Amino acid sequence: MTSRERFLSALACQPLDRPPLWVMRQAGRYLPEYRELKAKSSFVHMVQTPALAAEVTLQPLRRFPGIDAAILFSDILVIPEALGQPYAFRDGGGIEMARKIFTRADINVLAPVAAVTEKLAYVSDTLKLLKKELGNTKTLLGFGGSPWTLATYMVEGGSSDDFERIKLLFYTDRATFDALLEKLTEALVVYFQMQIAAGADAIQIFDSWGGLIAGADYEAASLKWIRRIVAALPADFPIILYAKGTAPHLTDQAFSGVRAISVDWTNDLAIVRRTLPANVAVQGNLDPVLMQTTPEIVAREATRLLDSMRGTAGHIFNLGHGITPQARIECMQALIDTVTTWK
Ligand code: CP3
């Protein structure tokens, strides 16, 4: 069975001897070969140059052939950028957006949704290069942010500690909030259609800040827009939803039309597996901080998670959030060895 077959079988909730494995931020700062390329070119340049983006995507698979999926090297913030609100990195860490959106006039100056296919053609080119290189051996994952998570960056003007502006917009001017989310939803549908046409096997939607809105408002602020995106894409195409800090909403998420729910580390994955419908896969969910410990600790905790899921179907092994820059290579190797040899 190829890696790709294993991954697609897990997504289809078919029984397997062991789960497939990949991690979020798979290509990233914990890899010396990534840091070496990054020293020569900026993040945005690497993202926008298909040969470089494809190379970075493949770096982790060359070092760790046991990984079952390649995730496109890009960022969720290419959507605001394509709509006319570019992003940059703050010196002290975090994201800085050009401008801050708050009014209808701010939304009106954004580019039309059609700009996405033209401005993000490099993403399509990168995926085509990757598909050519990977063939049917490994799963090729595309991705994008959720409308809510992207809106937080656009309205807050970058990374935020309190998310006050986006919440004020949501509570005081729902029509403007909805207009922004509508625009993002349409842009993401076009963007995901392009990724599917370019060869993505599945798409992961990152609702990283879904847990920041009050529970009763999660539907109106975030999930409703995700549901619309899923409904606009081909019915049989697998979408994975990652939403951090949204434990009370896992069941609603599972009925949103997505094929898999990616679960953060604060949940007990075996309980989540028992709670969700059997035809929805679960992905996760080791604490990423474990990757900064020792290979022994990683092996112990990964085995514990695998054992807790024994006899269940529809599990994709992953971390509960992205791998951190401080992760140790030996820990990543231990994770892969543990999952691929688990009996
Ligand atoms: O997972 C992968 O390997 C694919 C590549 C990927 C990146 N960003 C590359 C990246 C993916 C899937 C993302 C998604 C993303 N980007 C999210 C959702 C996932 C999550 O972590 O919750 C978010 C919120 C962003 C926005 C973003 N981009 C942030 C908050 C940062 C960190 C900024 C900081 O303080 O350094 C980035 C930068 C970024 N995106 C890096 C990578 C590899 C690090 C850039 C670098 O310094 O090289």
pTM, full prediction: 0.97
Which atom of ligand 1 is least distant from the CA of 26? 3
User: Ligand 1 center to residue 75 CA distance, Å?
Assistant: 6
User: Ligand 1 center to residue 25 CA distance, Å?
Assistant: 7
User: Ligand 1 center to residue 275 CA distance, Å?
Assistant: 30
Which atom of ligand 1 is least distant from the CA of 149? 24
Q: Which of 43, 76, 123, 188 to mutate to test the pocket of ligand 1 (most atoms within 8 A of CB)?
A: 76
What is the spatial distance between Cα 72 and Cα 26, in angstroms, rounded to a whole number?
Answer: 10
Q: Is 106 within 8 Å of 99 (Cβ atoms)?
A: yes
User: Ligand 1 center to residue 95 CA distance, Å?
Assistant: 10
Pocket lining: 94 vs ligand 1, CB cutoff 6 Å: yes
- Let me know the angle formed at the C-alpha of 318 by 312 and 322, rounded to the nearest 5 degrees: 155
Which runs of E-coded beta strand occur in the chain? 69-71, 87-89, 95-97, 139-145, 202-207, 239-243, 260-262, 281-286, 315-319
Residue 322 phi, psi (nearest 5): -70, 150
Q: Which of 262, 251, 238 is nearest to 318 (CA)?
A: 262
User: Ligand 1 center to residue 134 CA distance, Å?
Assistant: 23
Q: Is 63 within 8 Å of 31 (Cβ atoms)?
A: yes
Tokens of 84: 């006319």
Give the Å distances, CA to CA, from 81 to 50, 86, 97, 179.
Answer: 17, 4, 9, 18
Strand 95-97 relative to strand 87-89: parallel, antiparallel, unpaired? antiparallel
Which atom of ligand 1 is least distant from the CA of 27? 3
Which atom of ligand 1 is least distant from the CA of 35? 48
Residue ranges and CATH numbers for the domains of the chain are: 3-341 (3.20.20.210)
Close Cβ partners of 7 (under 8 Å, ≥ 6 residues apart): 20, 22, 68, 69, 138, 139, 201, 202, 316
User: Ligand 1 center to residue 296 CA distance, Å?
Assistant: 28
Give the count of alpha carbons within 13 A of 199, CB side only.
20
Which atom of ligand 1 is least distant from the CA of 93? 35
Pocket lining: 27 vs ligand 1, CB cutoff 6 Å: yes
pLDDT in tens, the chain (343 residues): 999 999 999 999 999 999 999 999 999 999 999 999 999 999 999 999 999 999 999 999 999 999 999 999 999 999 999 999 999 999 989 999 999 999 999 999 999 999 999 999 999 999 999 999 999 999 999 999 999 999 999 999 999 999 999 999 999 999 999 999 999 999 999 999 999 999 999 999 999 999 999 999 999 999 999 999 999 999 999 999 999 999 999 999 999 999 999 999 999 999 999 999 999 999 999 999 999 999 999 999 999 999 999 999 999 999 999 999 999 999 999 999 999 999 9
Pocket lining: 71 vs ligand 1, CB cutoff 6 Å: yes
Give the dihedral sign, CA 58/63/69/73: negative
Count the neighbouring beta carbons within 10 Å of the beta carbon of residue 255.
12
Residue 137 buriedness (CB in 10 A; 0-12 / 13-18 / 19+): middle
Which atom of ligand 1 is least distant from the CA of 75? 8
For ligand 1, atom 41, name the residue with the nearest CA: 28
Give the Å distances, CA to CA, from 215 to 163, 221, 296, 306.
Answer: 15, 10, 38, 30
Count the neighbouring beta carbons within 10 Å of the beta carbon of residue 72.
25
For ligand 1, atom 10, name the residue with the nearest CA: 75
**Side chain identity at residue 63, one-letter code:** R
Q: Is 169 within 8 Å of 102 (Cβ atoms)?
A: yes
Pocket lining: 287 vs ligand 1, CB cutoff 6 Å: no
Q: Is 132 within 8 Å of 121 (Cβ atoms)?
A: no
Alpha carbon 232 to its chain's center: 19
Close Cβ partners of 109 (under 8 Å, ≥ 6 residues apart): 84
Q: Which of 176, 261, 282 is nearest to 210 (CA)?
A: 261
Angle at which helices 121-134 and 174-197 pack, to 10 degrees?
40
